[in-house]
Chain A
Amino acid sequence: MKFPYSMLLDYVRTGLNAEQAGDLLTMAGFELEGIEEVDGEAVLDIKVMSNRGDGLSVLGLAREVLAKDPSAEPTGLYLSSGVPPVQNEVPVSIETEACTRYAGRLFTQVRNGPSPKWIQDRLVKAGMRPISLLVDVTNYVMLERGQPMHAFDFDKVRGSRIVVRSAKPGEKITTLDGQERELSPFMMMICDAERPIGIAGVMGGQETEVSDRTTTVLLESAHFQNTSVRKTRRALGLSTEASYRYERSVDPNGVLAAIQRFTELIGDAAQPGATTDLYPAPPARTAIRLRVSRAARLLGMPIAETDARQHLSRLGFEVQGEGEELSVTPPSWRPDISREEDLVEEIGRVHGYDRIPEALPHGSTTLGGPKSFEAWKDVVREATVRLGFQQTISHSLRDESPLDDGRFQRIGPRGISDPDMKWLRNSTLPSLADAARRNGGRDLQLFEIGQVFGKKDGQYVEYSSLGLLSQGAIQPEWWSGKAVALASFFTLKGALEELGRTASVDFVFRPPASLDPRLHPTRQAEILAGDQAVGLLGQIDPDTAEAAGLPAETVLAEVNVTAAYGFSKTGIQVREISRNPAIRRDLAFLIDKSIPFQNVSDRISSAAGDLMERQWLFDVYEGKGVPEGKHSLAVALQLRKVGGNLTDEEANQVRERVVAALAELGATPR
């Protein structure tokens, strides 16, 4: 709401300058967004909250100044209460409940031309374009009093009557902006005896537009329900100064005062005639009980009854009763006030929120912080960070990517045409691919933990996903460096195993039940928790790598964190540690490459029994001296007894049992 400061001074006498008035309005909730000097006068730009339609007028803002500035006084214009005599000579009928009130006044012997310079100047400062006397004065009154008005060329109104009704199927209207608009039955129209001549609360029709030749005018000043105007405005995509005000709220009791002001301003450029006013069901005004002590309690500052009374009165509320309990009736321009707490806000706002002291809540303290899944997610993220991965946070709304999960139906917001935000990610891998590319694609260890979205079995679902991307040197190159460790399937697998350990989930890696086309077909694994697939791990497929612009040696993993949480174990049961020395036995053997190491390892464990504390693979060799199709594996067994020393003989027995068990897999010792 933009207006020259002098307009405000027409309504209120105050010692404040424009800037001070702007600050005062800001502290009343009407934020000064800008103040500029135009032709030697300050023009204020005030942001009006969406529940305060009454603030979209100089009159409304003047009330706020009066309430907040105790030394301010109303002017004659503010106090003037004249209304035109009502004869109801122009036939008007209201056929829809969405029209609360319809008033109109006839003006004859109209001489429409340019409006006076002072009106034009003020309108320009308020950001409006001067058009003609009739149009300018309606706009000026709207600016002053918040009442949208419309002037019809009455000679063009067929049947000399007004009907406010819903549009009929197939009806059309050409609005003032020259656009022909198709109407729907939910739209409220101003019609003459035959056809729509204006869209109620939005815009008038071209056929009844006033011009230089206009001699008779019907001035409309009405009240329409905000939901109806809003629906029509949205359907037509046509927002105007009038619709903006009606949507927020216009004072139904102000329509006649606006006609009166128009009549004053139009002066002898037109001869005022009969006024018609239809107000079938004025809204009931209900008094609200206000307990001053409750206001003080909710605001957290002392409020005297006299202060409460004064603040509300200055805002135009009727206050009755004495003492602790008051009966307060809100004015007709404040439909936002319906209960005691609303009054408490009014009192607090005028009294000044800067008077509220700082206190801390008393009462029982609850246990703070995250629990269960939220707490576990923190563990997962912190564990990943400890493994040396840089956290990334990316957009969920995005474009298509070669790394989208083909098995999770993608979804996106309705009606979005921008390809960069058409889809919600269904995997964290596309985000990581973008992050990697932005950073050159090489020597990166990145992760993201975030929500992914899609449709499964017809249901819209989202879950938390952990994505990891690893490429190139894990240890940055440096002057004393020996061999640089490079990211591979197994470096990332090691990280995931460690992650599982910290987060108390046993991850099992196995060849996937079905291949994921994003990953290298012979270098990918499914990650299981319990017996449920919760993720995947693998080197990027060479074609995907090309399409995504990433190096072929990029390794990726994704874990459905929401699903994995179901398999996290709680609590640790400590194991007794042996104080006796351990014995190590190594064994090397040739075995078919087609036998997964997991099988070998499982055999060793079951054959070795309880005496084996730990086993680890320390060499894999193929090539010279090893037959085609086989490889040589070297495994170390760490053996130990709890509560006694293990003998060499016992250790050898374990080793023999293991050798025998591996022989069943076709392994031959080397």
Chain B
Amino acid sequence: MASVEEVEKEAIGAIAQAASTADLRDAEIRYLGKSGLLTGLLKQIGTLPPEERKGFGQRVNESKDRVQSLLEARLDAVKCGEREEQYERERIDVTLPGMPVRVGREHVLQQATNKIKRVFTGLGFQYMEAPEMEQFKYNFEALNYPPDHPAMDDQDTFYITDDLVLRTQMTALQGRVYEMVERGEMTLPIRVFTVGRTYRNEAVDRTHGHTFHQVDAFMIDEGISMADLKGTLGLFARAMFGDEVKVRFRPDFFPFVEPGVDYAISSPKLFGGKWVELGGAGLIHPNILERYGIDTERWSGFAFGLGVERIPMLAYGVDDLRNFLENDLRFLEQFPG
């Protein structure tokens, strides 16, 4: 019968020789298991004289603890080595390309539109749309264009019939909205904006197209002034182009505003420090308000327009308008959104 010391020595040897977690598990079973060699020594306890039993049991248990802790230490070391091997086996080249995910994307003009819509929605402007094939009366007449006025020459119009044109300006929405106010379907004060497609019969080149997109925003409330217009435009321009953007007004003529201005923006870091014209604006012409029964002593309003294409042109340096409607993916994919 082997002594505790002999069995322990053998167990220590086996642990030292173990090369894998499997060997160690075997050693654990062989020496420390229920019927392991060290545990097995305890069976001899009955054969010993009573005064030795306690001491023997103690020695076996102490020996088991020592073997156990040796085994655990060894297990840690072996496991660590095995993981190392596993890691090495499982090494990948992280510079291999990732799986190309087919992601749908919005067109760059849509992205600009979305941004515009977020800003105006935040300012409490309701978004509305009207037909692209618009009645002459909404495109011109309702907007205070005198009949046969040269201002209509500024915008060579596509006529479908005498009464139906491809709208030349998004301002054409205004008459429809004022009619809703007149009918009581909307009540003052109002804040409305629209974004959409406009058409003018112009020759196409890098900076001109017969089809382009515009924003038009207008509001009517008590005491609206040119300062409110400037402030709103400033807020809008800063949301689109950054915090340092400033707005400048210059007199201009549009039949539907009085006073009428064009507005330009500049920023120390953008556009080469120059003033860049963005669009037309002004206080809604009192003739228009009166036409729809709105009391101009109580109410006033502002309106402004802007070309959607101008935004990516200024922000990203797109210098050829034709790119926008040609759908070349080499162009569109440069704007992941």
A→B interface (CB under 8 Å) = 26-29, 31, 49-52, 226-227, 230-231, 247-248, 297-301, 339, 341-342, 344-345, 348-349, 353-354, 356-371, 373-374, 381, 384-397, 411-416, 421, 424, 434-435, 438-439, 445-447, 450-451, 453, 460, 462, 474-476, 478-480
Contacts and interface: CB of A to CB of B under 8 A. Distances in A.
Interface string B305-333: 00000000000000000001111110010
A368 B259 contact: no
Contacts of A389: 104
Contact of A359 (B133, B230, B285): B230
Nearest to A27: B250
Given A50-B153, A368-B121, A393-B327, A341 B283 contact: yes
Contacts of A479: 96-97
Contact of B230 (A356, A385, A414, A415): A356
A186 to B, nearest CB: 12
Contact of A366 (B99, B191, B211): B191
Given A364-B221, A368-B124, A397-B199, 7 more contacts: A27-B250, A344-B258, A345-B251, A356-B226, A386-B104, A391-B104, A394-B325
A29 B249 CA distance: 10
Contacts of B107: 391-393
Interface stretch (B10-18, B57-65, B83-91, B231-239): B231-239
26 contacts: A28-B251, A29-B251, A50-B153, A50-B154, A247-B150, A344-B259, A353-B248, A354-B248, A354-B249, A357-B227, A361-B219, A363-B222, A365-B191, A367-B124, A370-B117, A371-B127, A381-B110, A391-B106, A392-B107, A393-B107, A397-B210, A411-B160, A424-B166, A439-B329, A460-B161, A479-B96
Contacts of B25: none
Contacts of B255: 51
Contact of B126 (A227, A369, A476): A369
B125 A462 contact: no
A17 B290 CA distance: 44
B137 interface: no
A594 B105 CA distance: 40
Given A227-B148, A358-B234, A393-B327, A349 B251 contact: yes
Contact of B99 (A345, A368, A478): A478
A480 B153 CA distance: 61
6 closest A-B pairs by beta carbon, nearest first, are A300-B227, A29-B251, A300-B225, A345-B259, A353-B249, A413-B158
B127 A368 contact: yes
B150 A460 contact: no
B247 to A, nearest CB: 7
Given A52-B253, A396-B132, A435-B327, A366 B159 contact: no
Contacts of A414: 158-161
B151 A50 contact: yes
Given A353-B251, A368-B122, A359 B227 contact: yes
B103 interface: yes
A563 to B, nearest CB: 16
Contacts of B226: 298-301, 348, 353, 356
Contacts of B224: 361
Nearest to B100: A476
A541 B75 CA distance: 70
B226 to A, nearest CB: 5
B127 A387 contact: no
B33 interface: no
Contacts of B325: 393-395
Most buried by B among A353, A397, A460: A353
A552 to B, nearest CB: 22
A447 to B, nearest CB: 8
A525 to B, nearest CB: 23
Contact of A421 (B148, B210, B225): B210
B228 interface: yes
A462 B99 contact: no
B276 interface: no
Given A345-B258, A368-B126, A370-B117, A478 B251 contact: no
Nearest to A365: B124
Nearest to B328: A438
B197 A396 contact: yes
A392 B211 CA distance: 15
B251 A393 contact: no
Contacts of A247: 150
B175 interface: no
A548 to B, nearest CB: 15
B189 interface: yes
Interface string B177-196: 00000000000011100000
B26 interface: no
Contacts of B219: 361
A360 B121 contact: no
A50 B235 contact: no
B109 interface: yes
Nearest to B192: A366
A394 B164 CA distance: 22
A33 to B, nearest CB: 12
Nearest to A446: B327
Given A360-B232, A363-B221, A393-B109, A476 B258 contact: no
A480 B227 contact: no
Most buried by A among B103, B117, B122, B249: B249
Contact of A339 (B121, B211, B247, B286): B286
Contacts of A227: 147-148
Given A247-B150, A411-B160, A479-B97, A369 B121 contact: yes
B261 interface: yes
A231 B132 contact: no
Nearest to B186: A366
Contacts of B253: 29, 49-52
B217 to A, nearest CB: 11
Contacts of B127: 368-371, 374
B102 A362 contact: no
A297 B223 contact: yes
Nearest to B337: A385
A385 B332 CA distance: 14
Contact of A360 (B122, B128, B129, B231): B231
Contacts of A348: 226, 259
Contacts of B227: 299-301, 356-359
A460 B104 contact: no
Contacts of B266: none
A258 to B, nearest CB: 22
Contacts of A439: 327-329
Contacts of A365: 124, 191
B309 to A, nearest CB: 11
